[in-house]
Amino acid sequence: MKIMKNIMATVVMGLAVGMTAAPAVAETPANMLVIANRIDDITTLDPAESFEFASSDVSRNIYSKLVNFNPLDLKAGYGPDLATSWTVSEDGKTITFTMREGAKFASGNPVRAEDAAWSLQRAVKLNKTPAFILTQFGFSPENVDKTIVASGNTVSVTTNKRYATSFVLNSLTATIGGILDMKTVMQHDVNGDMGNAWLKTNTAGSGAYKLVSWKPNESVTMEVNPNWYGPAPAMKRVIVRHVQESATQRLLLERGDIDVARNLNPSDVGGITGEAGIKVASELRGRLMYISLNQKNPILAKPEVRQAIKYLVDYKGMQDSFLKGQYVIHQNFLPATFLGAIDDAPYSLNVEKAKALLKKAGVGPFEITAGVREAQERLEIAQSLQNTFAQAGIKLNLTVGTGKQILAKYRSRELDMYVGAWGPDYPDPQTNAGTFAFNPDNSDEAQLTGSLAWRNAWDTDGLTKEVEAAVVEPDRDVRAALYGKIQREFLKVSPFAILFQRIEQTGERDNVKNLNLGGAITAVSYWPVTK
């Protein structure tokens, strides 16, 4: 009995220590922004290499670019950042940027035209995954020293042919366009890697913030860059905490231990709606949910079958149920708010029409297999498709796996069907047109694994040429109209059914103002945030 008393005393004492350390009502400091987000996709912070969502969020706040988006006016499109103005040559191939005077890196080094040129040259020479955003303009490791050149206070960029200026500038707003402090980075050059190893875990930018630490799967901490040319941000410190579970994020938000929760599922969003001290913000993002049909399957290659399948999707049912608040119906490959975006939505669930089309194609009941990544909403979409497909005699089997497992098969053209998502790489229509509707070589040997059209063995039915024409069109309105036309044709003939566009719902403490996630075109910006 004495032992039991001792045990109880120790437990009570322990709890007392624990309890006194936990405040009854927590609150983050007024000049600190604490965000809960899943950041386990960060594998590198080098702008020439990083291509994940969470690392893009970090990069946007640490690296300034030649041109950039104002988070308080995304509709205006790109505007001056480290370049205050630019001119375009007569032949349309050279853009010359004039650099901002007096800008400095976080290290204190001045931002020079040489830094800008070197940063872009470096990205091309390293040739990591996002390099295609620059190399698509004809830059290569062999020619980039001559095609991206610094001279005095200017940087000139010469492309291999005339492109729409908006296309080039939109591409430079991507993460890969981040301008690096060449002097600082080259101090960490190892065996000619141009600081790549060092920049995976460090930063050398001139943006509003600088990196304090990145602890993988734990947190990213940034603090204000005193050398930034813009107005001093109200949030002196930004901490992004990795919190995997939606329920945990919700609890943290309700307790006031965080200011923003970015991965709340619909039921947790419903739970906090109307709660005192908390608000829910919704923002349309660029990610699209789609299904695609491999044209190597002779049944799926029939135009009537492609059409039929588009009528076997319960768009509204899904939007209004398990996707409620998280996705909105969108059937075109350019996300809403992009230049050239249209809002045509000709398809809805129509089993009878689908059956008629299948009959016209001379196709009886058949079976196909779809690859699905093991993410909740994708599985639910796939299960809904199983149900509606079955009503027209199509048996849909699902192969579920991790992203890496399913992607490997998708890239090898091994799947009949794919249920997945696609996010734009940069805020220009070419990013999605160039992957959904562009396939210059449909052979297996071409291995254009980055192209969705290629992955589905679709030769684009002539749309490749139209995409090539749109990307060089200098007139913005004409260009927009061209993409509209491509999308309308795409709706009719493609083996893709674009289903939904993502809405990101965040839970925020109601004192958080001006948090902009970047819409469909860019990443989150912390510098305008106030509390």
Return residues touching other proteins (CB under 8 A): 3-4, 7, 10, 14-15, 17-26, 28-29, 32, 34, 40, 43-44, 51-52, 127-132, 197, 200-201, 213, 215-219, 221, 239, 241-245, 247-248, 251-252, 254-255, 257, 401-405, 407-408, 411, 425, 447-450
- Closest separation in Å from C-beta 70 to other proteins: 27
Residue-wise over 312-334: b if at least 16 C-beta within 10 A, else e?
A: bbbbeebbeebbebbbbbbbbbb
The nearer residue to other proteins, 52 or 461, going by C-beta atoms, is 52
Residue 365 CA to residue 302 CA, distance in Å, equals 14
- Which pair of structure tokens corresponds to residue 449? 């694994």
Q: Give residues with Cβ within 8 angstroms of 530, minimum separation 6.
A: 234, 235, 512, 513, 514
**Residue with Cβ nearer other proteins (37 or 119):** 37
Smallest separation, CB 346 to other proteins (Å): 29
In angstroms, give the least distance from the CB of 210 to other proteins. Answer: 15
3-state secondary structure of 98: strand
Q: Which is nearer to other proteins, 73 or 441 (CB)?
A: 441
Q: Which is nearer to other proteins, 59 or 384 (CB)?
A: 59
Q: Least distance to other proteins from the beta carbon of 29, Å?
A: 8
Asked if 508 and 279 count as a contact pair (C-beta separation under 8 A), the reply is yes
Choose between 219 and 292: whose C-beta lies nearer to other proteins: 219
Instruction: Count other C-beta atoms under 10 Å from residue 164's C-beta.
Output: 22
If the CB atoms of residues 236 and 242 are measured against other proteins, the closer one turns out to be 242
Burial (Cβ within 10 Å: 0-12, 13-18, ≥19) of residue 298: exposed
Residue number, 84 or 129, with CB nearest to other proteins: 129
DSSP label of 445 = G
Shortest spacing between CB 512 and other proteins, in angstroms: 16
Of 165 and 405, CB closest to other proteins: 405
- Token pair of 335 as six digits: 């996300």
Shortest approach of other proteins to residue 400 CB, angstroms? 12
DSSP 232: P
Kindly give the residue spans of alpha helices, DSSP state H, lying in 155-239.
Answer: 165-172, 182-186, 196-199
Task: Classify the C-alpha dihedral 45-86-434-315 as positive or negative.
Answer: positive
Give the start-end residues of each E strand in 303-424. Answer: 327-329, 366-373, 394-401, 417-422
What's the closest the beta carbon of residue 257 comes to other proteins, in angstroms?
5
Closest to 385 in 3D by CA, of 369, 374, 401: 369
- DSSP letters, 336-350, are TTSTT----------
Least separation in angstroms between residue 20's CB and other proteins is 7
